[in-house]
Amino acid sequence: MVQVRGKGRGRAAIALVTVGLVGAGFTTAAASAFAVGAVPRDVISLTTGAGEDGACTNVSAHGARQHWTFTVDHVYGNLSLARLHAEFDDGTTLSSQAPTDTGNFSAIWIVDTAAGAHVKDVSADVTDANPDGATLQLLSCELFADSVTTTTSTTTTVLAASASTTTVPAPQVSQAAPAAPVVAAPAALTG
């Protein structure tokens, strides 16, 4: 609501502009917002958990992928209305992402990037979640494998029979010269 002080033409001019906007299809609320400006958003920047270069300062485990765990605390309204906006140097971006989890007046986001990625820009819009001293923090980064890989090792032992060929000379069989034909002795020569 706009309050106008004074007399005369100033007040009449504002009334005419407001009536003109309403007559042109604007609602009274839109006309009021136009007159006083847009409602400011409560957007908070990251306070802890990343180095100057955007690297996560608390990394654990091993793997090719990285989970970033962000949290906004001191939020006393509907936690699901908090939104995270983030950009990482591996190409991962989030725009108005709802929390992954909520609890104890905190909204939590888990963001998946390539291992070793750096955060380029991150902020949380908590305007609609009733913040009271809210802070955005990067709690940790945990590395993990792309997928579960099971390695099976099989040992195969091949016992090859040695097939060697030994040339053995054929046994020498002594053959006696063919026996002379036995011829019956001639009967005594008679003579």
Q: Is 53 among the domain residues?
A: yes
1-10, 119-128, 159-168: range with highest mean pLDDT: 119-128
Residue 103 binned pLDDT confidence (cut-offs 50, 70, 90): confident
Do residues 49 and 107 share a domain?
yes
Do residues 50 and 35 share a domain?
no
The more confidently predicted of residues 167 and 100 is: 100
The secondary structure of the chain in percent helix, strand, coil, rounded to multiples of 5, reads 15, 35, 50
The more confidently predicted of residues 86 and 184 is: 86
CATH number at residue 134: 2.60.120
Average pLDDT, the chain: 72
CB atoms within 10 A of CB 26: 15
pLDDT digits (tens, 9 = 90+) for 124-133: 999 989 888 8
Q: What is the mean pLDDT of residues 36-65?
A: 89
**What pLDDT, on a 0 to 100 scale, did the predictor assign at position 147?**
58
Residues of 47-65 as b/e, b for ≥16 C-beta within 10 angstroms?
Answer: eebbeeebebeeeeeeeee
Do residues 33 and 48 share a domain?
no
The more confidently predicted of residues 103 and 175 is: 103
User: CA distances (Å), 105 to each of 44, 78, 86, 156, in order?
Assistant: 16, 9, 21, 59
Domain boundary at 144, 165, 185, which? 144
Q: What is the mean pLDDT of residues 59-72?
A: 95
Do residues 121 and 138 share a domain?
yes
The answer, yes or no, to whether residue 120 has pLDDT greater than 90, is yes
Q: What is the mean pLDDT of residues 106-121?
A: 96
pLDDT digits (tens, 9 = 90+) for 14-34: 333 333 333 444 333 334 334
CB atoms within 10 A of CB 165: 5
Give the residue ranges of DSSP H helices in the chain. 9-23, 28-36
